[in-house]
Structure 1
Amino acid sequence: MSMLLLLGSVVSLPTQTGLAHEGPDPIADWNFAPSSEEASLLEARRGPAAQLQGTYRWLEDDAGRALEFGGRDAIAIMATDHNMVADSLPTESFTIAAWVSIDEPREWGGLLGVIQDNGDAEAGWVLGYDDRHFYLGLATTGADDGNGHMTYLRGESNYALGKYHFVVATYDGRTMSLYVDGKLDASSEEQSGAILYPRTAPFVMGAYRDFNEFHAHQGRIRRMTLYNQVASAEWVAQEFAHDAAIAALPRYLTDPEFEIVVGPYLQNGRTDAMTIMWQTTREASSTIHWGTTAECEQHLPLERSAYVHEGTIGDLTPATQYFYRVESTDSEGTVLRSDVWTFRTAPDDDQPVAFAVLSDTQGNPQVSGKLAEFIWGHRPDFMIHSGDLVDNGENDRHWTEHFFPSLQPLIGRVPFYPVLGNHERNAPNYFEYMSLPAPEYYYTFKQGNAQFFMLDSNRDLDSESEQFRWLETQLAESNATWKFVCHHHPPYSSDENDYGNLWQGNRSTWGDLRARQLVPLYEKYGVDIVWNGHIHSYERTWPIREGRAVTSDAPRYLITGGGGGSLEQAGPTRPFFQNHVRRGHHVVLVAINGTHLEFKAYDLEGRLFDTFTIEKSR
C-alpha cells in the first residue's frame, strides 16, 4: 500500500494503476494513455483537462504511453487564468509527482506551474529544471516582502538527458522538499504559510510561462499528479520502486524537426562582398542563391555540410542592392528554403553612410525586437553592437530564442559588427555565430570614410597588452576621416553603483579603470567617439582631454546600454564629464556625409531624446 504522511498522521494514497483506495484523491491527475494518437486534448482523471498546443506527439514504449513535447512552442494549457480552476490547485500544502525526461537543457525549464516572476513581483509555484538540476519554485504569504518573494529550490543531482526521472516536490507549510528518483535531493525552510498566488496566471504543463516569459519543454512526460497534501519520504521511495521499469528504459532523445533555427543574417559587409550565415537543426549541405533581382539567378554552393552555414559572395559592386535566399538539404533529401532577403554593399569612402548602435540586448527579445524593427525602419547601412548580445553566451537557447529571432528583421538585411561583453563569457557560441575579421575578438573594419576599431575589454588592455599595441598601430596608420572605437566596458560612467555605491558614499572610480588605460590613445590619435555598453542606461559625455571636459577636438564617450537589459541609472550627483544621461531602453542612429556627422538617440517608443552634430575641417 502506498503511504502519505500529513502533519504527523499516515493516510493511504492511490497508486498510478487505480483510484480505488482509502486515502485522499489527487486534486489533479492527467491521463497519458489517450484513445487516439491524434488527440489534442490531454484528458484528466481528476482536475482540468489540458489543451495541447504547438509541436507534440504521443509515444509508446515498453512501459506504456507518454507525451512528447517538441520544445519552442509546445505547451499544455489547463487554464489561461488559474482562478478558473482554483478547486484543482493547492492552497497550503502540496505534492507534485511526475515521471519526465529532458531532451534539451533550459535555464528556466518548466514542467507544471502557476507562476508570475516579473522583476521583483513574484508569486505562485512551478516544478521545473535548469541546465543541470530539477527545481521547485514557490512564493508564500510567510515570505511575502510586499511584492512576493520566490524561492527556487534547486536539486543537487544532475539529470541525464533522454532518461526518465521520477521527480517529486512537496511543501507542508514550513518546508520545501525536492526528491529525484526516490531520494531527497534538496530542502529549504525559506518559505512558510499559505501559497501566495498571483492575481492572474496560466495553469500550464510542459512549459515555464508567465506574463513575459515562455520556455517550452523539450522531452517527455508520462505521469503528472498533484495532491493538496504532503508525501512522506517513504511514499516517494515506494513509488519510485513501483515504477522501476520506467527508470530502466534506455536513453532516448527527440530527433528535431529539420528547420532553419537561426537566420539567415549578414556579417562583414564590404564594398565588394557580403557574408551570409544561418543555422539548421540538422547537419545539411547548403547553397546561397543571389542576384540583382528577386529571382536570385546566381548560386554559391558551400563546400561542407554543417549545422552553422557560412558563405561569402564576392565580386560585388559598391553601394548596390542585392537579393538572396538560402537553401539547405539534409541527409534524407529534405530541402529547406528561406524567404528572399535583400542587402546593400558598403559605399565607397566618398559617399554618405549611416549606421545604428545597440548594446546589452541580453535576454529581453520583446525590447530588442522592437528596437530592431525601429532601426530597420530607418534603413541603416550596418549596425554595431557594444556587447552583451545575450544573457549567457554558453546557453544555446539564448542565441536561438532571444538574440537572433528578435533581431532577424534587421540583421537579415544589414550586417552587424559586435564586440564581446561579459555576458558572452567568451563562449564558443559567439565565435561560431560570428564571422569577423581576424582574430575576431578584436578587429577593424571600414565603412565609407569611417574606420571602426572593435576591442574586447574583458581582456588585458594595459600598454603592454596585445590589444593596446595593435590599436596604437592601427590608429597611427588610419587615414579615415572618422575614427570610432567600440568596447563593452566604459572608461567614463556616472552609474550609481557599478564603480562605487554613490548612495552610501562619495567614492567612485567613475568608470572602468581597465578600459581607461586606452584613453591616452584615443586622445593622441584623434578618436571621435568611443561606443560602450555594460551600464544599462544612456550617457553622453562632453569631449574629454587630459581629464577635463572641453568643447571640441577630443573623444566623446557614449554608453548605449539600453538594448534590453534590466535598466540602471546615474548616481545622485553630476561628475565633470557628464553631458546627458537617461534611464530607459534606447537606440542610437548616426549619419555621416563627408565631414558632417549627425547623431540621434531614440527611446523605445521612437521618440527623439538626444541629438548633436559634429563638423570637421577636413
Structure 2
Amino acid sequence: MEMKTKTMISTILISVLLSILLPVRTDYVRPQPRKTLHFPWNPKHPSVPQQVHVSLAGENHIRISWVTDDKSAPSIVEYGMSPGQYNFLSQGETTSYKYLFYRSGKIHHTVIGPLEHDTVYFYRCGGQGPEFQFKTPPGQFPVTFAVAGDLGQTGWTKSTLNHIEKCKYDVHLLPGDLSYADCMQHRWDTFGELVQPLASARPWMVTQGNHEKEKIPFFTDAFASYNARWKMPFEESKSTSNLYYSFEVAGVHVVMLGSYTDYDELSDQYSWLKADLSKVDRKKTPWLVVLFHVPWYNSNHAHQGEGDGMMMAMEPLFYAAGVDLVLTGHVHAYERSKRVNKGKSDPCGAVHITIGDGGNREGLAQKYVHPKPEWSVFREASFGHGELKIVNSTHAFWSWHRNDDDEPMRSDQVWITSLIGSECLAE
C-alpha cells in the first residue's frame, strides 16, 4: 500500500514537472490582415524590362512577358545555357491597353524554344537590361507544383512568396485573384514588380478571378488588363479565350477554367473542355488536375453556393474523365475534401482543395458551416501556400503550409492516389 502511494505521488510530480517544462498546446490563433504594401517610386530607363514573368507555351516552349515604358523597345529575347552567352534569339509580339485615364506600357510576349527539360536558361529581354534565368520543368516524374491563390499585395503576400521561394518547385499554379488592382491600374504594375523575382525564374500558370473583371460598362471590357498582361497558352491548347486553356508538365495534364465566363452546356468553354478532356492520353499523362476560381465544395459561410451552377454543368465531365484533383481560390481559407461527386464522398470523384488565402487584403474567412460536411477532411482559416509533389504515375504528396508568425508551418498533408488503373477509368 505504501509502495502504491509513493508511485502515485511520483506520477503526479512527474506530470507537474512536465507541464512546467513542456509548452502547452493551444488552439491555432488566426493572424490578422496585414496592410497593403507600398512601393516607393523607382524610376527606370524607359527601355529597361519590367515585370518580367515566364509561362509555359506549348510543348518544350516558354513565353517570356515583360513591360517597357519605351514604345519602340524591341520584343526580342536572347537566351542560352551559360551566363552572358546567348546562342539563340526569338522575336515576339506586343500589345497595350487603355483604361480610362491610364495608359499601359508596351507589353511584350515572346515565345522561345524548343528547350530541354529540367535545364537552366539565362536570358535577356529587349536586348538590354539585367540578365534573368529560369529552369524548365522536368520531362518525367517527379514534378512539384507550388499553389497559392488570391495573392494580392499585402504583408502576408510577401510572407507567402518568401515561403514559396524556399520550395523546390517546378511550376507555380494560381487559381485566380492576382493583383487586386480593382480598376487601379498602377497596382498591376506594382504586382508585376512584386512577383518578378519568382515569376521570372519559374513558369507561373494563372487563371482569372473576380478581382480581374474590372469591367466599366461603356468604357472598358472585362479582363482587358489581365488578358493583356498575363497571356497564357490558350491558342496552343486550341482554346479561343485566354480565360480557359490547358497544358502538360511531365505526366500531368492541367486544365485552367474560367469561373467568370460562360460555362453552360451551350457555351464555348464547355465545348472546349469536353474536347480537351477527350484528347487526354492517361497513359502519357496519368494525372488530371483542374483549376478555377470559385470552389464547388465549400463549407465556409463565405461565397457559399456561388459555384453551384458551374458544378452542375461541368462536374459530369470531370467525373467521366476521371479528374484527380481540383484546386480553387475565392474563399479566403483552406479546405481539403475527400474524393467527392454530386455532393457526397465517391471513390471515383475528385479531391477538391480550396486555397484562396495567399495574402489578400480582405482578411480571412473564419466562419465555417457546422456540423462539418462528411466530405470535408480538413479546414483552416490561415494564410499560406500548398505544395503538390507528384512522385510517380500513381502517387502524389500534398502539403499545406500556413504562414505562422512568418514561418511556414505544415498543418495538413496527405498522400493522394491517382485514378489511373482503377475501376473508375476502366474502358
TM-score (norm 2): 0.76
The 5-angstrom pairing of residues 94-173 of structure 1 reads: none
Contact 1:462–1:468 at 8 Å: present in 2 too?
A: yes
* Equivalent residue number for residue 368 of structure 2: 571
CA RMSD of aligned residues (A): 2.6
Q: For residues 49 and 207 of structure 2, what CA distance do their matches in structure 1 show?
A: 23
Deviation at 1:343, TM superposition (A): 1.8
Q: 1: distance between equivalents of 2:51 and 2:40?
A: 21
Structure 1 pair 455–561 and aligned structure 2 pair: CA distance change class (3 A): same
Q: Does the Cα contact within 8 Å between 1:598 and 1:614 map onto a contact in 2?
A: yes
Q: Contact (CA 8 Å) 2:79, 2:123: kept in 1 or not?
A: yes
Match of 2:291?
Answer: 486
The residue that corresponds to 1:470 in the other structure is 272
| Corresponding residue for residue 459 of structure 1 | 261
* Identity over aligned pairs, percent: 24
Q: Secondary structure at the match of 1:285?
A: coil
Compared CA separation, residues 410 and 256, structure 1 to 2 (3 A): closer
Match of 1:601 in 2: 400
After superposition, what is the alpha-carbon deviation per residue over 1:1-36, rounded to whole angstroms, capped at 9, x for unaligned?
xxxxxxxxxxxxxxxxxxxxxxxxxxxxxxxxxxxx
The structure with more helix, counted as a fraction of residues: 2
One of 178, 187, 191 as aligned partner of 1:398 = 187
Amino acid at match of 2:163: F
Quick check: 1:287–1:299 contact (8 Å CA) kept in 2? no
Amino acid paired to 2:258: D
The 8 Å contact of residues 80 and 122 in structure 2, kept in 1 or not, is answered as yes
Query: Which whole-Å CA distance do the structure 1 matches of 2:157 and 2:37 have between them?
Result: 14
Which secondary structure state, in structure 2, belongs to the residue aligned with residue 543 of structure 1?
strand
| Residue of structure 2 in register with 1:353 after alignment | 143
The one-letter code sitting in structure 2 at the alignment partner of 1:542 is: K
- Asked whether the equivalents of residues 258 and 281 of structure 1 are also in contact (C-alpha less than 8 Å), the reply is yes
Task: Tell me if the contact between 1:260 and 1:278 (Cα under 8 Å) persists in the aligned partners.
Answer: no
Q: Deviations over 1:96-130 (max 9, x none)?
A: xxxxxxxxxxxxxxxxxxxxxxx999xxxxxxxxx
Aligned counterparts of 1:525 and 1:304: Cα–Cα separation in 2: 36
**1:377 aligned to 2:173?**
no
Structure 1 residue aligned with 2:199, among 408, 411, 417? 411
> 1:344 and 2:141 equivalent?
no
Tell me how far 1:345 sits from its aligned partner: 2.3
Return the alpha-carbon distance in structure 2 between the equivalents of residues 270 and 319 of structure 1: 16
8 Å contact from structure 2 (residues 398, 413) kept in 1: yes
Q: Which contiguous aligned blocks of 4+ residues in structure 1 show a shift greater than 4 angstroms?
A: 215-218, 303-306
- 1:293/1:270 Cα in 2 relative to 1: closer, same or farther (>3 Å)? farther
* Counterpart contact for 1:460–1:514, Cα < 8 Å: no
Once the two structures are superposed, what CA deviation does each residue of 1:183-204 show, in whole Å capped at 9, x if it has no partner?
A: xxxxxxxxxxxxxxxxxxxxxx
Structure 1 partner of 2:246: 444
Q: CA deviation at 1:498?
A: 2.6
Runs of 5+ consecutive residues of structure 2 not aligned to the other structure? 1-31, 96-105, 214-221, 236-240, 422-427
Shift of 1:298: 2.1
- Are the structure 2 counterparts of residues 415 and 377 from structure 1 closer, same or farther at C-alpha, using a change threshold of 3 Å? same
More strand by share: 1
* Structure 1 residue 385: Cα displacement: 0.6
Evaluate the alpha carbon distance shift between residue 376 and residue 212 of structure 1 in structure 2; reply closer, same or farther with a 3 A threshold. Answer: closer
Q: Offset at 1:434?
A: 1.7
Relative to structure 1, is the Cα distance of residues 256 and 570 closer, same or farther in structure 2, using a 3 angstrom cutoff? Answer: same
Paired amino acid for 2:415: T
TM-score, with structure 1 as normaliser = 0.54
Q: Deviations over 1:559-602 (max 9, x none)?
A: 10011112112424112322111111110111112221110110
Show the counterpart of 2:324.
Answer: 528
1:285 and 2:74 are equivalent in the alignment = yes
Q: Tell me the CA shift for residue 459 of structure 1.
A: 1.8
- The Cα of 1:296 is off from its aligned counterpart by 2.8
Q: Secondary structure at the match of 1:468?
A: helix
Conservation of the 8 A alpha-carbon contact between 1:324 and 1:342: yes
> In the alignment, is the contact (CA less than 8 A) between 1:493 and 1:539 conserved in 2?
yes
1:555 partnered with 2:327:
no
Cα deviation, residue 514, structure 1: 2.0
Letter in 2 for 1:482: W
Give yes or no for contact 1:494–1:570 (8 Å, CA) kept in 2. no
Work out which of the residue numbers 300, 304, 307 in structure 2 matches 1:512: 307
Cα distance between partner residues in 2 of 1:597 and 1:341? 31
Deviation at 1:213, TM superposition (A): 4.8
